[in-house]
Chains A and B, each alone.
Chain A
């Protein structure tokens, strides 16, 4: 009797043990499988963020030991370095022009494609193709297109009797050139808007039509509100991308002429990897990060007044 009891108790204990080890096994496996991210986060994100914060208060050329200078880098940025303000202004002007135009053309194209048109797949592929190509080869292509005498753009313009400007060599036209080049890749956004448009239930349009809404009314009061979460997402991604523009600037103009296209990241690169002002460059990086964060938060704050989430109003 005692033996049986003892045996069953032992069995129970083992079962509990098995259960326990099963649980802890899962915990161990969970941490183990998440460990690449955890380790990577510590080495490549958390550590470097703290380090760059510290570096922002130092002067360091990578060779001699770093020297603590406190707020000097920030003071230099604000009061002694006109190129800091200038590059920030150039970048913001570029972003403020390029993003709205890309939103507008992306949405318009998507709306045109969302009309049961024949050859949808062809058009979609065609418009999307430039969006996958980016980097150096595209920048070189555009350098050739913008070439003042024999480039495609001025040839086309002259065939309709317009004398084209010097594009990349003209201080007034260099930023519009970058905006134009960015518009070539508008198909990337278009594909996303198109998917959003295809998700809008058709009964909304039918209801609007019965209520006597004309085409513009339907766009204004059905399409745009239903698309607003996608527009919101694209706006945020657009800000983050445009504020960090680098490669095309590096290849096309190197910041010229007369710093007219000195984008912030170009200037940051110059300070860090050409002048080896690691401390000052870290301070610049933090300011850019804070600017992007600020702009993103601003957009988030306005979101409630124009972004329409169906799930929220239905509740």
Chain B
């Protein structure tokens, strides 16, 4: 056997080769994944004429920082951001608080009918939204809630089945002895929820809040149904509106889209661990 062949055969060399190939593929993949975002940033900083240059230039020259303020004032994005933050804040608060309260009842309190009702939570979780969509739209129309934030916020205060499930499963992992100890010290059930369960559940509550924020921030369908007045638009609707008017001004469109993505990216980088833990918690267990 030749030396080279023996080298290839040796386990160590083979492992090193696999490692190198793996690394190469992962790097290539990373480039493919990041390229659209880099392209987006590049486009957002170009002059209009430079957007249509061939071959394309990755580094804009000159760098048009002014595209951002221009794009963001062409339609009232400050108002759209304010609207979205208002809706998202109240919606996230509602979903997190109400789901936690309901989940505590299912996890820690003993009452007749509890387990049957919990099955109902699970069943509701499986139900896709389209079947209920039209009657709910009719209800909100009849209440004259169209063109208000109420159809987007009010339902969030009734608990979200998926989050109720997630939180209940987490609450169940907290030792009951802690509750008993609290009860001996004269702590009521409600007190135990507030002083013991909630503080111990901060990570999972954070996961729920982040999922909820992500949903509200990206949601397009519900604002599309209920918000028709331009002053009430969320950023998602605002972008759509922007596209309708300035659809071929790619540099402005990309600048505005990037700014709309930014809050989510910031949340993601600050809370990455919570994000991924939450995703894993829902997906695997």
- The residues of A with any CB-CB pair to B shorter than 8 Å are 26-27, 29-34, 36-41, 43-45, 47-49, 51-52, 55, 62, 109, 112-113, 115, 117, 123-130, 132-138, 140-142, 144-145, 147, 149-150, 152, 155, 159, 184, 187-188, 191-192, 195-196, 199, 230, 233-234, 240, 243-244, 246-247, 250-251, 265, 268, 272-273, 278, 281-282, 285-286, 288-289, 292, 296
Q: Is the CB of A127 within 8 A of B158?
A: no
Question: Which residues 74-112 in B have Cβ within 8 Å of A in the complex?
Answer: 98, 101-102, 104-106, 109-112
A44 touches B158 (CB 8 A): yes
Within the assembled complex, what's the spacing in Å between the Cα atoms of A233 and B127?
Answer: 16
Sample 9 A-B pairs with CB under 8 A, ordered by A number.
A29-B109, A112-B22, A127-B30, A128-B276, A136-B240, A140-B243, A265-B130, A286-B131, A289-B127
> Quick one: which of A30, A47, A123, A196 contacts B114, CB cutoff 8 A?
A30
Q: In the complex, what distance in Å separates the CA atom of A240 from the CA atom of B162?
A: 14
Contact B105 A34 (CB under 8 A): yes
Whether B236 pairs with A39 at a CB distance below 8 angstroms is no
Assuming A43-B158, A192-B279, is B225 touching A273 (CB within 8 A)?
A: yes
Choose among B26, B120, B164 the residue with the greatest number of A CB atoms under 10 Å from its CB.
B26
What is the chain A residue whose CB lies nearest that of B38?
Answer: A152
B132 is contacted by which of A37, A48, A192, A230 (Cβ under 8 Å)?
A: A48
- Whether A26 lies near B110 (C-beta < 8 A) is yes
Q: How large is the interface on B (under 10, 10 to 19, 20 to 34, 35 or more residues)?
A: 35 or more
10 A-B pairs with least C-beta separation: A40-B158, A30-B111, A192-B283, A48-B135, A135-B218, A33-B105, A48-B132, A30-B109, A51-B135, A137-B257
- Given contacts A36-B98, A123-B26, A137-B258, 12 further A-B pairs with CB under 8 A are A109-B26, A132-B264, A133-B264, A134-B218, A135-B219, A137-B236, A140-B243, A150-B52, A155-B55, A195-B280, A250-B224, A272-B137
B172 to chain A, nearest CB (A): 15
Q: Are A191 and B279 in contact (CB under 8 A)?
A: yes
Contact of B260 among A112, A124, A137, A285 (CB under 8 A): A137
Determine whether the beta carbon of B275 is less than 8 Å from that of A117: no
| CB-based contact B284/A127 at 8 Å | no
CA distance A192 to B280 in the complex (A): 5
Known: A27-B112, A36-B98, A136-B236. A144 touches B40 (CB 8 A): yes
CB-nearest residue of chain B to A150: B52
Which residues of A have CB within 8 Å of B161?
A: 37
Given A115-B19, A191-B280, are A145 and B39 also a contact pair (CB < 8 Å)? yes
| Chain A residue contacts of B224, Cβ below 8 A | 250
Residue of chain A at shortest CB distance from B120? A41
Contacts A40-B155, A191-B276 given; does A34 touch B117 at CB 8 Å = yes
In the bound assembly, the distance between CA atoms of A52 and B138 in angstroms comes to: 10
> How close is A140's CB to chain B, nearest CB, in angstroms?
5
* Cβ 8 A contact of A230, one of B131, B276, B283: B283
B43 in the interface, Cβ–Cβ < 8 Å?
Answer: yes
Given contacts A247-B220, A268-B130, contact A48 B136 (CB under 8 A): yes
B148 at the interface (CB under 8 A from A): no
A133 to chain B: closest residue by CB: B261
Asked if A141 and B284 sit within 8 Å, CB to CB, the answer is: no
Q: State how many angstroms separate the Cβ of A143 from the closest Cβ of chain B.
A: 8
Contact (A34, B106) CB under 8 Å given A44-B158, A136-B220:
yes
A199 vs B219: C-alpha distance in the bound complex, in angstroms? 33
- A145 / chain B contacts, CB cutoff of 8 Å: 36, 39
Structural contact, A137 and B135, CB atoms closer than 8 A: no
A192 to B159 alpha-carbon distance, docked (Å)? 25
The answer to whether B132 touches A44, judged by C-beta atoms less than 8 angstroms apart, is yes
Q: Are B264 and A31 in contact (CB under 8 A)?
A: no
Give a binary string over B223-263; 1 marks a CB under 8 Å from any A CB, 0 the rest.
Answer: 01100000000001001100100000010011001101100
Known: A31-B111, A278-B138. A44 touches B155 (CB 8 A): yes
Contact A141 B19 (CB under 8 A): no
* B35 in the interface (beta carbon within 8 A): yes
Per the bound structure, the CA–CA distance linking A135 and B37 in Å amounts to 15
Is there an interface contact between A34 and B102, defined as CB atoms closer than 8 Å?
A: yes
The residue in chain B whose Cβ has the minimal distance to the Cβ of A251 is B240
A30–B105 CB distance below 8 A: yes
Residues of B within 8 A of A38 (CB): 117
Q: Is there an interface contact between B111 and A129, defined as CB atoms closer than 8 Å?
A: no
Given the complex of chains A and B, what is the CA–CA distance between A299 and B272 in angstroms?
32
On whether A39 and B158 interact (CB within 8 A), knowing A27-B112, A188-B279, the answer reads yes
Other-chain residue from B134, B217, B239, B254 in contact with A285 (beta carbon distance below 8 A): B134
Residues from chain A with Cβ under 8 Å of B258 in the complex: 137
Whether a CB of chain A sits under 8 angstroms from the CB of B121 is yes
Interface residues of B in 149-180 (CB under 8 A from A): 155, 157-159, 161, 164
Asked whether A127 lies within 8 Å of B29 as measured between CB atoms, the reply is yes
Closest to B98 in A: A36
